[in-house]
Structure 1
Amino acid sequence: MKYRPLQPGLLVEGNSDEPYLRHLVKRHLDEVILNRSTRPVQVLGCQLSEVRTTAEPAEVLRAAAELGRDCDLLFVHGDADALDKTLKLVAALAEQRSRADRSGLPIPLVPVSMTESWMLADRTALASVLGAKTLAGYPYTKVSDVENRVRCHGSKKPVTPKQVWKTLLGDDAHDVLTDSAELLVRRTDLAVLKQLPSYRAWCDLTEDALGELGYLLHRR
């Protein structure tokens, strides 16, 4: 049976975002294609740009356009504080795509707070990867709280998800998250992530793009 390939590409804001998001993109696409594709499709691993979305706009645009030539979908990541910049880049890429022979369809990937908030959403998955003792100071009572600042044990004021990770894992937080990213994505219940408005919004944009490219018959 002949498979139609689906090649995603990804530009991220920082080094800490890449390991988790590239695996999450692949897993989400695998799930959607498995459940709703109109034909056999092989989702390929994410191609990554070495240029970060925090670089100079012209450099990011050049890098994104170059990566997009080899991709069907081009995910452009930015944290919430860079939303306007991310949307402008996506709009510029969409305009370029209208004149190109081959260019991936650009999609913004913007967590409400930061990538670390999505990583904190599924406490059960976290416990299975990092151990229950590590999560003794987990500060959230419901999934939606991960998109807000919260007080951690010992903190005088509400802190960001990135600071929550440092509280839980100490100074090794970056290395631990990098090493654990693939396993965490594999064990995360995507239904839990879909309780987050920012994740649902990204899913909707992705499924719209897949429909536009003919990978899906229709949106739910």
Structure 2
Amino acid sequence: MTRRRLYLRAGLYAEGPSDYDFLLPLLDRLLPSLAAALFPGTCEIAESLGIDAPPPAQGDRAERIAAAIADRWEECTLFVIHADGAGDPASARRSCVDPGVETARRASPNAITVPCVPVRDTEAWMLVDVEVFRTLLGSGTQPALPTEPEREADPKLTLGRLLREGGMKRKPERIYRLFGEEVSLEALRTLPAFRRFEAELSEAIQSAARSLSAPG
């Protein structure tokens, strides 16, 4: 029997440059580990791609999401749509993610999409692993990370303060990629919003696998 081959490439539509910096390398770590556990065949996983509506970008957010997906349809097998939760992730999902997904599916009914909605900001996901701070600030660093990062009123402010207190002079946004590359996945899994994202990403991988044609 011919073993099936699954090709995966995620297209990420995010809110801002720092979100791309953090989430793209994080996706590149998550996809291989999840695919290996979920798919019995051979997996080929390409580097995740930051996507946006092609210029001139017009219309509301839903239309821009749909345009971004249509523009990268032939390059990506699934699409991650990020929105900061601003303290109410369910509302952010309804207003900032679902309309774009619905608009995209009218043009591309088979689009596989994954919401990525932290409770407040993605910076909360950077406050779970002291080892990344030690990589940046020195092995003796002892930052007082919050015990419940998703309850932080302003995770971005907390992240900046911890880095400044540790002697970091660069703007936090410049080191977001390192957090995406290094933050512990096990530590992230203590956060409910991340667990939901990972579960929905797993469902998307399974959907991509089901869409494969049966071997001839």
Aligned position for 2:113: 106
Maintained 8 Å contact 2:9/2:48: yes
Q: CA deviation at 1:134?
A: 5.7
Per-residue CA deviations over 1:88-130 (Å, capped at 9, x if unaligned) read: 21232234321xxxx6411111111111111111123332343
Closer, same or farther: CA 201–95 of 1 in aligned 2, 3 Å = farther
In structure 1, C-alpha distance between the alignment counterparts of 2:158 and 2:142, rounded to whole Å: 10
TM-score by length of 2: 0.78
Q: State the percentage of identical aligned residues.
A: 23
Q: Which amino acid aligns with 2:78?
A: L
Closer, same or farther: CA 37–166 of 1 in aligned 2, 3 Å = same
Aligned position for 1:125: 132
RMSD of aligned Cα (Å): 2.8
Closer, same or farther: CA 2–201 of 1 in aligned 2, 3 Å = closer
Give the gaps of 5 or more residues in structure 1. 150-158
In structure 1, C-alpha distance between the alignment counterparts of 2:76 and 2:111, rounded to whole Å: 5
Closer, same or farther: CA 195–104 of 1 in aligned 2, 3 Å = same
SS of equivalent residue, structure 2 residue 17: coil
SS of equivalent residue, structure 1 residue 4: strand
Q: 1:209 aligns with which of 200, 204, 213?
A: 204
The number of aligned residues is 195
Maintained 8 Å contact 1:93/1:106: no
In structure 2, C-alpha distance between the alignment counterparts of 1:209 and 1:50, rounded to whole Å: 20
Maintained 8 Å contact 1:134/1:169: no
Q: 2:157 aligns with which of 134, 158, 163?
A: 163
Per-residue CA deviations over 1:130-171 (Å, capped at 9, x if unaligned) read: 3356654x341x2xx11012xxxxxxxxx4110012212347
2:151 matched to 1:148? yes
Maintained 8 Å contact 2:21/2:180: no
SS of equivalent residue, structure 2 residue 26: helix
Aligned position for 2:73: 68
Aligned position for 2:37: 35
Alignment of 1:5-44 (within 5 A): 5-44=7-46
Closer, same or farther: CA 95–166 of 1 in aligned 2, 3 Å = same
Q: Which amino acid aligns with 1:121?
A: V
In structure 1, C-alpha distance between the alignment counterparts of 2:70 and 2:142, rounded to whole Å: 41
Aligned position for 2:50: 48
